[in-house]
Chains A and B, each alone.
Chain A
Amino acid sequence: MAEAVVDREPTKVLEVENLKKHFPIKAGLLRRQVGQVRAVDGVSFHVEAGETLALVGESGCGKTTTGRLILRALSPTEGTILIRDGERVWPMHRLTAQELRSARRSAQMIFQDPFHSLSPRMTVIDIISEPLILNGVRSGSTRERRVRELMDVVGLPQQYLNRYPHAFSGGQRQRIGIARALALNPKLIVADEPVSALDVSIQAQILNLLQDLQSEFGLSYLFISHDLRVVAHISTRVAVMYVGHIVETGVTEDLFTRPLHPYTEALLSAIPEPDPHVDSEEIVLAGEVADPSHPPAGCIFHPRCAYAKKVCREEVPSLRRIEGRGESSRWVACHLADELTLRGAGLPAPQESEGG
């Protein structure tokens, strides 16, 4: 039973331990399994109450899969997922379909792709009120009042109430998705690229909105994004993922100014500067993202790492703790973390190389 779990960490809204998802690769007439995609391969992290943990990393590294596992849109191959809502702790990894319905009141998802997360046959009011119906809000007028309120909150004109999703632009559809996620006042929101389809001004509104909702209701976010400027702005801490593994975590400002993993360094160097006079020198990573069905031996990043040594090709580095600034601690999975001095990003550059 859900309630039987011993509550060890009352401030943690989400705890993920050794989470794995291996997708079978099938081939041939009989669709026999010939291998597996290790999409998520043993990740552990947590989200504190009221904080925003950003999950960043290259396309295909397993961010969306991780998000979907947490809400049990997918079942994990291995690992534990605990979601805490007040007195309740939901062991998401082993809930039955029946229990999941209640658990989803505590955690909701905002999707990456606003074009496919909305059913084309449902109007805006149907879409936003669906979670209300599933959770037993029977009165139609109560639902409509709540839907109108939510539309206001996310900045959708109320006269769109009876429109279908196809008649909305990408940004408008994303607002519908956010309104729907907020309908049941969840504790945790897994937001998968929630603002990447939005132009900057709406993005600013939505980011401000997410921050307002967070301070008002003590919401926690797992914020999946590839936009590191947005991540720098919104997150308390950052976890960097590479091919199914977490390679580095840290408090946002510390991680941005002093990356410890060469992959983080490359990510930070590729942030496009909003200034046409700057020719940014991004580190273009050699080679390709490792194939999650045939991960390389040793450190999973070594084939693309400019600093790799013999040890990197032979031994898998474990995620280890390194002293952070002040109270905060850093975790990194790199054999060379103590010897390397890597280039950070952000905060006014110490030296201007060329005029601007």
Chain B
Amino acid sequence: MTEKSAPTALSRAEISADVLLELKDLHTHFHTDDGLVRAVNGVDLTLRRGRTLGVVGESGCGKTILSRTVMRIVPEPPASISGHIFWHRQNGEIVDLATYPVKARQLREVRGKEISMIFQEPMSSFSPIHTIGNQIAEALLVHERVSKKEAQERTIEMIGMVGISQPDKRFHAYPFELSGGMRQRAMIAMALVCRPTLLIADEPTTALDVTVEAAILKLIKSLQAQLGMTVMIITHDLGVIAKMADDVAVMYLGKVVEQGPVEAIFDAPQHPYTRALLKSMPRLSNTGSRLEAIRGNVADPYTVLPGCAFFPRCGEGEQDRCTAAMPPLVEVGDDHLVRCVMREGVAHGRGSG
């Protein structure tokens, strides 16, 4: 995390060996009665092996749909997906997950086995009528050639690993018998039982108190180190991002507006939206003052604004420059990209901040 070389210094082969997932011009649009919802609207992102990418952004900006698109578990229709999801498989093959039909065997092989996900809502990922143990073991039985007995043993081991006491007893518990935090742990056990290459965690700790959150984040980190897992973590908690992420992507209305190494994002945020996000966070050091909320609301998702979608809420922009066209991603530092015309001049000072 401390030593990084510029990507230009690497040969093409080295770059691709390092890359696990590449999203190129990815779109997920929902066709609804009220109009077209551009939930994901042109995302380019690269995930490198063994690293942790944190995704932050306002409610409704498309974080969940982005991650579900990678897994191809958004309902199609009403959604339609375009662009590329290049996934580097465990067997070395590179496949474009965006091109397969929804029911393709290849998707089923990748999903749950190579890429698995912890959801924002733990209750809906478990069926209420089966025990959590059986549901976790089922994931193993579907993806690996194991006996029922072995699946049960590995499940119990995993339930213990995520810090649930008496795992052999809890194997037989129903989801409603567990508190929110326990269900979240059970879901992590389900996501990790097949030892995936990529773990997508969508708000994995938002329902948890801090001590359990600290324990679960530690758990994800240690499992990541043990299994060489890559992690994509979606959260609105910049504290969690600071603790977990190597790289950060900031999303606004379906687009990544800024991405870069975590230190650069916290120390020298460039996009006005990123700056506003950092300012609106409650801090222990100024509890008395009113929080600086970002003014206005997210634009409604049906209308397409000309140029930068953040402009109506931005204090810095200039009408003509910002609304003329969608700003391109400009590089403002090593691996640090920002989609803001006000920063175009800054691009020359790269590496200095």
Chain A residues near B (Cβ < 8 Å): 56-60, 64, 112-113, 115-116, 155, 157, 159-160, 163, 167-172, 193, 196-205, 207-208, 211, 226-230, 232-233, 252-253, 256, 266-267, 270-278, 280, 282, 284-285, 288-289, 291, 345-348
Write 9 A-B pairs (CB below 8 A) sorted by A numbering: A159-B34, A163-B34, A200-B282, A204-B282, A229-B281, A252-B287, A272-B237, A284-B214, A284-B218
**Shortest Cβ-Cβ A-B pairs, 9 listed:** A59-B181, A171-B59, A199-B236, A272-B239, A346-B284, A60-B179, A226-B209, A204-B291, A169-B60
Q: Which B-chain residue is minimally distant from A155 (CB atoms)?
A: B297
Q: Which B-chain residue is minimally distant from A197 (CB atoms)?
A: B206
Determine the interface band of chain B, counting residues with CB < 8 A from chain A: 35 or more
**In the assembled complex, B242 has its CB within 8 A of some CB on chain A:** yes
B284 touching A167, Cβ below 8 Å = no
Q: Which of chain A's residues have a CB closer than 8 A to the CB of B241? A: 274
Closest approach, in angstroms, between the C-beta of B45 and any C-beta of chain A? 18
A275 to B240, CA, bound (A): 9
A282 touching B163, Cβ below 8 Å = no
Contact with A along B60-96 (1 / 0, CB 8 A): 1100100000000000000000000000000000000
Decide: A229 near B284, CB < 8 A? Known: A60-B181, A159-B300, A274-B242: yes
**New A-B pairs, 14, CB < 8 Å, besides A155-B297, A204-B291:** A59-B180, A112-B207, A157-B297, A167-B30, A167-B32, A167-B37, A207-B282, A229-B239, A252-B287, A267-B209, A276-B242, A280-B243, A288-B163, A348-B285
At the interface with chain A, which of B103-111, B116-124, B130-138, B192-200?
A: B116-124
Q: Which of chain B's residues have a CB closer than 8 A to the CB of A59? A: 179-182, 184, 207-209, 212
A229 touching B291, Cβ below 8 Å = no
B282 touching A271, Cβ below 8 Å = no
**In the assembled complex, B56 has its CB within 8 A of some CB on chain A:** yes
Q: Which of chain A's residues have a CB closer than 8 A to the CB of B165? A: 288-289, 291
Closest approach, in angstroms, between the C-beta of A22 and any C-beta of chain B? 15
Closest approach, in angstroms, between the C-beta of B266 and any C-beta of chain A? 5
B59 touching A170, Cβ below 8 Å = yes
B58 touching A58, Cβ below 8 Å = no
Closest approach, in angstroms, between the C-beta of B171 and any C-beta of chain A? 15
B203 touching A197, Cβ below 8 Å = yes
A60 touching B182, Cβ below 8 Å = yes
B59 touching A202, Cβ below 8 Å = yes
- Looking at B120, B166, B217, B263, the one whose CB has the most chain A CB atoms below 10 A away is B120
A346 touching B287, Cβ below 8 Å = yes
Q: Which of chain A's residues have a CB closer than 8 A to the CB of B121? A: 113, 115-116, 170
Of the residues A197, A200, A274, contact of B120 by C-beta under 8 Å? A197
Decide: A57 near B209, CB < 8 A? Known: A159-B300, A288-B163: yes
- Per the 8 Å Cβ criterion, residues 270-291 of B in contact with A are 276-278, 280-285, 287, 290-291
Q: Which of chain B's residues have a CB closer than 8 A to the CB of A288? A: 163, 165
Contact with A along B194-238 (1 / 0, CB 8 A): 000000000100111111111101100000000000000000111
